[in-house]
Amino acid sequence: MKKNLLSLCLSLSLIAAAPAVGHAAQNDANTAPAISSQTLRNLSWTPLVPPVTQDVTLGTSSVQINQGEIQGAVGAFALPADRGSLEITLTSIATGKTLYAPNVLVLDEQMRPAAFYPSSYFPYQKPGIVSSDRLEGTLKLTPALGQKQIYLLVYTTRQDLAGTTQMTNPAKAYAAGVGNAVPDIPDPIARHTPTGTLSIKVTAEQRTGNVMIGQIFPSSAPAATTPVVVGNTQPAAAPAVTPAKPNEPMLSDSESYFNDAIKKAVKAGDVDKALKLLDEAERLGSKTARKTFIESVKR
């Protein structure tokens, strides 16, 4: 337990020291399979206005793209770009022993590729009490000012169709969920198919997300707080954007409250609670909560 806590402590220290670069490798639109602009403009884009959760069936009668690496049914969605940051959770639900392995290409208002999330960004999730076997991932995007909407294209590829996903046997999942001994039985293998069932949940908030879609903030913004930027850059003559005002320092009474709560949570072995307290304290401007957490787990 102590070894695990020290590892977690080291990880947090590295996170604190590293620049906030997000998922730059996954977000590089240059690694996405090429799609002609004409194909994109001919698609019928389904509007999604947050907050919204929508189930989508990609069947044999759905719109198909068979172009280069892209093969099979696709989902095309238009999202508003004037609601602040967008958090999008995409779920591909297993049907029997088949799964649709999604890739997501994000396009700016001019339908130019801005970010790319390959199928590896959507890992397998075990079934739960109210959830099925699924592939799932969350995207956090910040549309740049001046745009009306951005676009999400969901598709699968030849490489994905040649692959499979090992799922968890339902009996194992149930046994683990209720605390029983997990039976030694084989897990099913799901083959990837060009059709499938998706669920897409979109929420909006005014705080900045981790991927900006469209124009870039000026280079004067602090590197540690600048979102990962993709897409076209802002012209040099454009007016500067005032950097966001940093959080005011936390009052000493509040610092003490959070630090004491973090120490108690770690001492009780509730590291999850301690991490939540740490996150909330830093969001409110604490300068000592992280040090308190690290020192607590070292004891």
Asked if the peptide bond before residue 188 counts as cis, ω within 30 degrees of 0, the response is no
Residues 6 or more apart from 66 whose CB is under 8 A from it?
72
Nearest to 90 by CA among 126, 137, 38, 40: 137
- Residue 283, pLDDT score: 76
Q: What are the sequence ranges of the domains in the chain?
A: 40-204, 252-298
CB 122 within 8 A of CB 90: yes
Nearest to 165 by CA among 122, 128, 195, 131: 122
Determine the Cα–Cα distance for residues 113 and 44; give it in Å rounded to an integer: 17
The top-level CATH class assigned to 40-204 is mainly beta
Determine the Cα–Cα distance for residues 151 and 141; give it in Å rounded to an integer: 11
Q: For the segment 211-268, what is each residue's pLDDT rounded down to a tens digit?
A: 767 654 433 333 333 333 333 434 434 334 444 444 556 677 778 888 888 888 888 8
Nearest to 58 by CA among 156, 171, 198: 198
Average pLDDT over residues 114-129: 92
Averaged pLDDT of the chain: 80
Above 60 in pLDDT, residue 26?
no
Decide which of 40 and 287 is more confident. Answer: 40
Pairing of strands 46-47, 75-80: parallel
> How far, in Å, are 77, 278, 282 from residue 246 at the CA level?
34, 18, 11
Above 90 in pLDDT, residue 270?
no
> How far, in Å, are 30, 31, 68, 114, 230 from residue 216 at the CA level?
17, 20, 31, 12, 8
Instruction: Categorize the per-residue pLDDT at 27 as very low, low, confident or very high, splitting at 50, 70 and 90.
Output: low
Question: Of the given ranges (84-88, 151-155, 238-242, 286-290), which has the lowest mean pLDDT?
Answer: 238-242
- Residue 159, pLDDT score: 97
- For every residue of the chain, DSSP letters joined together read -HHHHHHHHHHHHHHHHS---TTHHHH-GGGSPP--HHHHHHS-PEE--SSEEEEEEE-TTS-B--BTTB-SB-EEEEEESSSSEEEEEEEEE-BTTEE---EEEEE-TT--EEEEE-GGGS-EE---SS--SEEEEEEEEEEPTT-SEEEEEEE-BHHHHT-EEE---HHHHHHHHHTPPPP--PPPEEEE-S-EEEEEEEEEESS--SEEESSPPPTTS-TTTPPEEESPPPPTTSPPPPPPPPPPPPPHHHHHHHHHHHHHHHHTT-HHHHHHHHHHHHHTT-SSHHHHHHHHHH-
Instruction: Categorize the per-residue pLDDT at 107 as very low, low, confident or very high, splitting at 50, 70 and 90.
Output: very high
Name the pTM for this structure. Answer: 0.64
Neighbours of 37 (CB within 10 A): 12
Determine the Cα–Cα distance for residues 32 and 69; give it in Å rounded to an integer: 10
- Residue 239, pLDDT score: 39
Query: Can you say whether residue 60 is alpha, beta or left, with left for phi > 0 and alpha for psi between -120 and 50 degrees?
Result: alpha
Average pLDDT over residues 49-62: 97
> How far, in Å, are 168, 200, 209, 238 from residue 130 at the CA level?
15, 17, 29, 50
Average pLDDT over residues 88-109: 97
Average pLDDT over residues 109-121: 95
Decide which of 171 and 194 is more confident. Answer: 194
- Express as a percent the part of the chain with pLDDT over 70: 76
Question: Of the given ranges (22-31, 111-120, 200-209, 222-231), which has the lowest mean pLDDT?
Answer: 222-231
Instruction: Categorize the per-residue pLDDT at 275 as very low, low, confident or very high, splitting at 50, 70 and 90.
Output: confident
